[in-house]
Amino acid sequence: MPAETDERYHHGNLRAALLAAAEQTARESGVDALSLRDLARQVGVSHAAPRRHFPDRQSLLDALAVNGFQRIDTELRAAVARAGDDFVARLKALTQTYTRFATRDAALLELMFSRKHGENADVFLAAAQPSFTLLEDLLQEGQVQGVLREGPIDQIGIVLFATMHGIAAMTNGHLAPPDLLEGLANTAVEQFVRGAGRA
């Protein structure tokens, strides 16, 4: 064991350390408060070290966002699995989990849905895809069980996803009271099930 003097020339895990520090700082103080130089200080490296791992500030933010999509996908799948077999219960679990995540990590959400990545749009889409697929698979369950009417699952999925996301976004933007969050999410699901239900 090479004597962790904290003075090794190479950090050994800088990229991950920077992302971790960034995530915490973002959660506490917002994305705008993220500074490459400050992160470098937090981690204990020189101000230009992050450049080896993130060519510019935006690319760090992008990595953060992609991480976010992966984390939320994990949480969503766990929640759906935990919710049992009932279709509506599963849908509510997904919605609640999403809105809760999105309000807990508001800064991260803002990053994930930021429009500052015309370039890497495909990377973001790929990162988000698993969760979209999860929702679409769930909706298909609903159709097979006869709870939902037939229809273009992808479009319906986007609309429902948009509703979840919008509820979270409005809450984060202080345009909807936080204590309504849970109720709104449930109302949304119930209306959706009636609206997309078999006639």
Partner DNA sequence: CCCGGATGTTGGCGTTGACTACATAAGTAG
Partner DNA sequence: CTACTTATGTAGTCAACGCCAACATCCGGG
CB of 17 to DNA, least distance (A): 8
Compute how many residues bind DNA; rule: CB under 7 A. 24
**At 148, phi and psi to the nearest 5?**
-105, 145
What residues contact residue 57 under an 8 Å CB cut-off, 6+ apart?
34, 36
The residue ranges that bind a second copy (CB under 8 A) are 30, 32, 106-107, 110, 112-118, 121, 124-125, 128, 155-156, 158-159, 161-167, 169-170, 172-176, 180, 183-184, 187-188, 190-197
Residue 188, binding choice from DNA, a second copy, none, Cβ under 5 to 8 Å by partner class: a second copy
Residue 45, binding choice from DNA, a second copy, none, Cβ under 5 to 8 Å by partner class: DNA
**In angstroms, what CA-CA distances link 68 with 17, 42, 44, 47, 107?**
16, 21, 25, 25, 10
CA–CA gap between residue 141 and residue 48 (Å, rounded): 51
Q: Of these, 24, 29, 30, 57, which contacts DNA (CB under 7 A)?
A: 57
Comparing C-alpha atoms, which of 144, 127, 141, 145 is closest to residue 94?
141
Query: Where on the chain is the footprint of DNA (CB under 7 A)?
Result: 8-12, 14, 34-38, 40, 45-49, 51-53, 55-58
